[in-house]
Amino acid sequence: MGALILLLGFVWSAVFGMDTAAYFLTVTPTLIVWTLISAMIIEGCGTFVAAQSTALSIRFPFTAFVFAHLWRMVLTFAHHLLVLVLVFLVLGVMPGAITLLAIPGLLLILLNGFWISLLLSIVTLRVRDVQQIVASGMQIAMFATPVFWPRELLGTRFSWLIDYNPLYHLLQIGRDPLIGQVPPNESWLWAAGMAGIGLAVTLVLFGAVRRRLAYWY
């Protein structure tokens, strides 16, 4: 992660004609939060598949596998935050009180990560190729979302591609507080709305297929 951010900071800041220090302060938290979201979704697909031996040998709630997956993602995210701390120290940046908004942002990201991982785990257990499809989709989404490039470069003509991108809003509520900005209200509403609707639909589906999951291995 550190080497990638170092490379991006110097090369892409020159490509976009941006101040190197300012670009480092933007791309570092952006890439850290995006890595959390992306890994949570891609690796979440194989949660039930990877737990096959445990699921078939003992009675264990399937949701516990999802919680274990999310916990691993949180630990990885915490390690990546050390890179951000290092960038702050090198550039002499002192985080303010706004940074605390990253806590509810992270909680909303994890809440969405729970239902997405649970849903994709169910589907992947039935159709094993789904994880490769999701991984390819996330690669495309990474370039369609302002991860490496500023949103302003897109202009107003195609701004709808960002406004209606749910991954962008999840990125906003986790990234903006880390760079000293308050996430827009629309992003909070998108994240909360996705969490509410997604949880409701996924839990209904999970309740309908829970007793059959073990037979899909």
Spatial contact of 27 and 149, defined as CB atoms under 8 Å apart: no
Q: Are 76 and 83 in contact (CB under 8 A)?
A: no
pLDDT per 10-residue tile (average), the chain, 217 residues? 72 75 87 95 94 82 94 95 91 88 96 97 93 94 86 76 91 93 94 96 94 85
- What is the rounded CA–CA span in Å between residue 167 and residue 39? 13
Residue 2 confidence (pLDDT)? 67
- Provide the residue ranges of all domains of the chain, joining segments of one domain with +: 2-216
| Integer Cα distance of 95 and 50 in angstroms | 39
pLDDT at 134: 96
pTM for this one?
A: 0.92
Contact 38, 142 (CB under 8 A): yes
Joined tokens for residue 19: 């101040």
How wide is the angle at C-alpha 13 spanned by C-alphas 92 and 31, nearest 5°? 75
Q: What's residue 162's pLDDT? A: 86
What's the N-to-C CA distance of the chain in angstroms?
Answer: 35
Supply the pLDDT for residue 174: 94
